Structure 1
Amino acid sequence: MSELDVLLVEDDEAIAGLIERALMVEGYRVACETTLAGAWMALGKQSPGLVLLDLNLPDGDGIEWLSRFRVAHSAPVIVLSARSQEHDKVNALNNGADDYLCKPFGLPELLARLRATLRRYQPHASAGGKLFCDSVVIDLQQGLITRDGQKVHLTAKEFQVLYVLASSPGKLVRQRELLQSVWGPEYVNDTHYLRILMSKLRVKLERNPSEPVMLLTEPGVGYRLNASF
């Protein structure tokens, strides 16, 4: 399977052409698909570092595709859509999008958001060490989480939040810090995103999610990871 920097899923040829050329000028390796079916086929051949996803595509809704994508893939996804309502943005983010950019947009903003998303997603590349809590092992160097010896699949955002907490085990990490590190500075007040994500993480990692011993909450302040090297 060959490596790919960006998978662009966009059915408007004019927009796709502009984005593809801009990305290639910046040195990114790009593959373009105009349908959701084509995007699935591309994933079988190439492993993208990031996906740019339109929502209104000829063969379906991008939100549904995104939800299925998140079951097996952790690459970050930036949604590019003419849908500008808040509920559309919340729906996309809750289904695994890392960012949401409304059309029309400028190429400089797109490139800036793409670089920012990749910076947030890739810090584990230089991290090292393993953390242990009960039956959970967090291998920061490999980007691998196991529970009872079985690999646990995390979404990109789930892994990013866990990475931030695991970088300072036992220490309180404030909500605003987590939101800024993982979602970006424009989301520092959107604590409901964090509550939803932490709930999902506990389901995946805790023996009893309603009585967590690993992912601890300081009500109204932040979270801490109870784990040791």
Structure 2
Amino acid sequence: MAQLLLIEDDPQLRTALTRSLTELGHAVATAAGAMPGLHSAVDAAPDLIILDLGLPDVDGTEMLRMLRGVSDVPVIVATARDDENEIIRVLNTGADDYVVKPFTARQIDARVRAVLRRSPGNAGTDESITIESLWIDPRSREARLADRPLDLSPKEFDLLYYLASNAGSVVSKRQLLTEVWGAPYGGADKTVDVHVAWLRRKLGESAQSPRFLRTVRGVGIKLVAPDAAEPAGPTSREPS
């Protein structure tokens, strides 16, 4: 049973979502504002936070920024804001997932379970993966490139590990949204593109000069050993 903290100012939605998530097997604490939510996050140490952005005291994005200064607890942002720039800004601030209202409790439940499966305390006994100079260990949540630690966000690590687990195979964006983001009903392709771009920079490559990450246009992306990566051509453009 996961211990969830729901930070939502709409009392009807807060009550309905709490009831539904409880029926789905979670323990749910709630807060109606950012500052009470921040105090609860620090004092109660929940397994995961579901965070609205339009809060009455402090904007949820600012609250997330403050939270990330003291905790790495997984956060799913659940909001009515669907602006692409806002989504990118919130993910860059440290959110693990982003869900746009309206949504169902079952959709939130699926995303909660997917995020928690990949959190540091639930890595299980999966073996580390080595692909040439790249080393990834799901148990310690560490990744190294040429013996240098990679500073990855939780979602960047999840994405890298999933691609490495399927090395050499093309993985579609829909598959990544389902397996990494826990969005079985679909999601924003831009979320995948943004995280791939961030991951490229940390791997020391670019869309124009890929090494590990190669996009197969119209199909998906695959992770390969650099020596196995054919030169990029005009028919295999990659997201920047």
TM class, shorter-length: 0.7 to 0.9
Q: Does the aligned pair in 2 maintain the 1:4–1:31 contact within 8 Å?
A: no
Deviations 1:195-223 (A, max 9, x none): 2210011122x134453322222233222
Residue 90 of structure 2: aligned partner: 95
Q: Is the 8 A contact 2:51 2:75 kept in 1?
A: no
**Are the counterparts in 2 of residues 35 and 57 from structure 1 also a CA contact under 8 Å?**
yes
Identity across aligned pairs (percent)?
Answer: 28
Deviation at 1:117, TM superposition (A): 0.7
TM-score by length of 2: 0.70
C-alpha separation in 2, matches of 1:209 and 1:68? 31
Which runs of 5 or more structure 1 residues have no equivalent in the other structure? none
* 1:71-220 equivalences in 2 (<5 Å): 73=72, 75-79=74-78, 81=79, 83=80, 86-87=82-83, 91-92=86-87, 95-96=90-91, 98-102=97-101, 109-110=104-105, 112-121=106-115, 122=117, 125-126=123-124, 128-133=126-131, 136-147=134-145, 148-150=147-149, 152-156=151-155, 158-183=156-181, 184-187=183-186, 190-204=188-202, 206-209=203-206, 211-220=209-218
Which structure's residues are more often strand, by fraction? 1
Q: Quote the RMSD (CA, aligned, Å).
A: 3.3
Q: Distance in 2 between matches of 1:224 and 1:32?
A: 40
| Residue identity opposite 2:172 in structure 1 | R
Q: TM-score, normalised by structure 1?
A: 0.73
What's the CA shift for 1:165? 0.8
Aligned residue pair count:
214
Amino acid at match of 1:174: S
Correspondence for 1:59: 57
CA contact (8 A) 1:4 1:47 kept: no
Q: Is the 8 A contact 1:145 1:151 kept in 2?
A: yes
